[in-house]
Each structure stands twice: as C-alpha cells, then as structure tokens.
Amino acid sequence: MTVSAVRALFSVANRPEVVSLAGGMPNIADLPLAELGESFNQLVRGNGIQAMQYGSGQGELFMREKICEVMAEEAIAANPDDVVITCGSQQALDLVTRIFVDPGDVVLCEAPSYVGAMGTFNSYQARIHHVAMDEHGLVPQALAQAIVALRAAGQKVKFLYTIPNFNNPTGITQPLERRRELLAVAREYGLLVVEDNPYGLLTIEGDPLAAMRSMDDEVIYLGSFSKTFAPGFRVGWVLAPHAVRERLVIAQEAAVLSPPVFSQFAIANYLENFDWRGQIDTFRSMYAARRDAMLDGLASFMPPGTTWTTPNGGFFVWVTLPEGLDSQALLPRAVTERVAFVPGTAFYADGFGSRNMRLSYCFPTPERIVEGCRRLGKAITDELDMHATFGLGTDVARHRPVSGPAPNVT
C-alpha cells in the first residue's frame, strides 16, 4: 500500500509544473557525457566480448577490487573476496533479507526508515520494529531495550538495519561516538548490524566519517554507485563476513545468475580512467547549494511551529509540521499549489509520522527548490488557517498513531 501510494505520488509529481521535493533521483547532469560516450566506445571495441558475456555470480574481480578502493574512503579495509556485487544496493537488501529472514522474524529499523528497505522486509513477511532516534541517530539505550523486550516476548530479532550517514528520510548522521555505542550494544546482545550507506561520500562539510564496518568486521555493509556515479547501471554491493558472503553468492545465482556484467565493466572503466573523486566533489558542491536553497526556503516560508533537520549531506530534510497538522491530509492541497513531498507515514511501518514529511533537495534546481518551499509554506499556512476556522478534521484523526509515544525525531 505504501509502495502504490508512492507510485501514485510520483505520477503527479512528474508533471513539469509541479516542483517535486518527493523523489530521490540524483542529479547526474554534471557527468562528462562526451568523454563517457567515447570511453564506452573503446570498451565495446576492445572488451565487448567479455563485457557482454555472462559473468560471475559474485561479480567480476576487477569490479570488487575497485569497490574496495571506494570503501577505503570511509576507512574500510576490505578484501575483494568478501564483496558480492548486486543489481543496485536494493538487491543487496533483498538478498540479505532472503538469507536471514523467515516470515514473522523481526528487523529493527530507525524511526523513521527507508521506505524501499521496508518494502523488501515486508515482501519477506518480516515484522518491522522501529527504534527511537535523537539528533545523533539511533538511541543506544532504546536499541538495547527493544532487543530485550522483543526477545522476552519470544520474537526472533534477525538484524538492525541502519543508514548512519544522512539517513533516509531524516538526513540525520550518527557521530563516530554514537556508532561505537551502537556497535557495543549489538555486540553485547549478539545482534547483526546491516549498515546501508548510499550517501556517505556526499558530505557537505568535512570528510566522510568512518563507516561502522570499519569499526567491526561483523557488520554487513551495503554500498552503491547510484549516488556517486549513476543509478542506471544498477551496481551496488554487499561486504559481508565470509560465511554470509558464501550464502549471498548462492542466493544471487538463484536470483539473477550474475549481476549486470556490462554495467560492471562500464563502472570499473569509469573508476579507472576518470577522476571519480573529483566528480564526487563536483556533486558535493552541487548538492550543498541545493541543501542551502532548501534551508533558506524553509526559513523564509514555513509558518511558526514548523521544524526541520539540517543535514550535512545526502538528499533529504525531515520536516515536522505544527501540532494538529497531518502531512497526508496536506498533500492534495500541496499538489494543488504545485509542490510534492512524501508524507512521513511512508517511512514508518506502524502508522507514526503523520506530522512529518520528507523533502528532497537532490533533483530540482536551487531556484525551483526555493519556489517549492514557498508553495509548501502557503499550503501549510492555508491548512493551519482552515484548522483555526473549522477545527481538526476527521482526515487528521484518521492518520494519527493509534497508540504509544511519538518517536523522538528532531
């Protein structure tokens, strides 16, 4: 249901007159297309027979070696033999879930968490249990309490799924000390950690932080070229302890025989022959300008009582509406004003998030982002005015969490 709601939203948001702050598409217009085209030409002429043939279920060795170079940017020392290439990091999630989760098992996620990951967990009939966050991400004590309470209730907790850098949807980053605390909890309770890191290299200020995997070899790490190069090749990866890696390769062979081979040749060729670190710096500057535009736009146009996060990278800002407002009820009014966002409930498996919305600054230009914030501000202000006049509508009550305290997200 969440997936189809998101799809319906996209079809509206794709209209050119709508400023979409809803999607998560990277802006890849800055890639050097002419040079890439010529390099593809050379690749096909010189290595086409290999690049267009079946490949290894684990992924090609040269690609896995390059991936280890990329992961070194976040202090991970990895062996190419422990890497499995996947059809985007979405498939990494799918394979990890496939080998660990039986129907009814619990997966722990941030509150809120990535809608696409929750879709995968749901497709394997996992129960999603959210763990509270604060301004530094997952709260270690909340993690420990969740594990204890769930196990006491006889539930099988299979792993923690976390996005430590520029979390989707909140934009929140775990500082290094928080990562160590969370890993200590995981070790104490024997809990597997799955670290999803699509945005880690897209920092705005400062260098990328050391990955959780760099602090603990037992962490399963998921990476992607979708945001640092381009998503259309569908190349992601898993770095996993050896026994897990073996099971992932068997699962991968059953799922797709081998991940896209031509894509691996294309990306390895790019990493070898282009200044990929310089390209990431270009992306960082471009996204920094867009984040700034969004923060300025929000400061200018949001009515009092609205709050939001300040991400240091990635694609997303998480907005909390004034008390009494409901983001899903707001959406039709926003679309009428020609701006789109994703309602916060999409990022919870349990009905929370009705006061929240995810805004993405990755794709529209800075000018359009500011204009989108202006339209959104008008929609929220109009909604507040209506509430002041008529009181809370039934639509609002319907989307309220049914029980329990609101997760602590700022």
SS (H, E, C) the chain: CHHHHHHHHHHHHCCCCCEECCCCCCCCCCCCHHHHHHHHHHHHHHHHHHHCCCCCCCCCHHHHHHHHHHHHCCCCCCCHHHEEEECHHHHHHHHHHHHHCCCCCEEEEECCCCHHHHHHHHHCCCEEEEECEECCEECHHHHHHHHHHHHHCCCCEEEEEECCCCCCCCCCCCCHHHHHHHHHHHHHHCCEEEEECCCCCCECCCCCCCCHHHCCCCCEEEEECCCCCCHHHCCEEEECCHHHHHHHHHHHHHHHCCCCHHHHHHHHHHHHHCCHHHHHHHHHHHHHHHHHHHHHHHHHHCCCCCEECCCCECCEEEEECCCCCCHHHHHHHHHHCCEECEEHHHHCCCCCCCCEEEEECCCCCHHHHHHHHHHHHHHHHHHHHHHHHHCCCHHHHHCCCCCCCCCCCC
Smallest distance, a second copy to C-beta of residue 215, A: 29
From 80, 198, 260, 364, residue interacting with a second copy (rule: CB under 8 A): 260
Q: What are the strands of the beta sheet with 342-343, ordered from one edge?
A: 307-308, 316-320, 356-360, 342-343
Which x/- pattern over 96-125 shows residues binding a second copy (rule: CB under 8 A)?
--x-----------------x--xx-xx--
Smallest distance, a second copy to C-beta of residue 359, A: 19
Is the CB of 41 or the CB of 410 nearer to a second copy? 41
Classify the phi-psi angles of 265: left when phi > 0, otherwise alpha if psi is within -120 to 50, otherwise beta: alpha
Q: Is 242 in the site for a second copy (CB under 8 A)?
A: no
Smallest distance, a second copy to C-beta of residue 246, A: 9
Number of residues binding to a second copy, judged by CB under 8 A: 57
From 162, 173, 226, 228, residue interacting with a second copy (rule: CB under 8 A): 226
The Cα–Cα gap between 20 and 311 comes to: 19
* Only segment of 86-94, 135-143, 343-351, 372-380 that touches a second copy (CB under 8 A): 86-94
From 61, 77, 148, 250, residue interacting with a second copy (rule: CB under 8 A): 250
* Only segment of 37-45, 207-215, 275-283, 402-410 that touches a second copy (CB under 8 A): 37-45
Smallest distance, a second copy to C-beta of residue 290, A: 17
Q: Is 198 in the site for a second copy (CB under 8 A)?
A: no
Smallest distance, a second copy to C-beta of residue 344, A: 20
Per CB under 8 A, contacts with a second copy among 120-159 are: 120, 122-123
* Only segment of 134-142, 228-236, 286-294, 340-348 that touches a second copy (CB under 8 A): 228-236
Is the CB of 183 or the CB of 222 nearer to a second copy? 222
Is the CB of 4 or the CB of 389 nearer to a second copy? 4
Is the CB of 53 or the CB of 310 nearer to a second copy? 53
Q: Is 42 in the site for a second copy (CB under 8 A)?
A: yes
Number of other residues whose CB lies within 10 A of the CB of residue 125: 11
The Cα–Cα gap between 383 and 345 comes to: 18
Q: Is 224 in the site for a second copy (CB under 8 A)?
A: no
Per CB under 8 A, contacts with a second copy among 341-370 are: none
Smallest distance, a second copy to C-beta of residue 79, A: 19
Is the CB of 117 or the CB of 191 nearer to a second copy? 117
Which x/- pattern over 8-27 shows residues binding a second copy (rule: CB under 8 A)?
-----------------xx-
Q: By the criterion CB under 8 A, which residues form the site for a second copy? A: 3-4, 25-26, 28-29, 31, 33-34, 36-38, 40-45, 48-49, 51-55, 87-88, 90-91, 94, 98, 116, 119-120, 122-123, 226, 230-234, 250-251, 253-263, 265-266
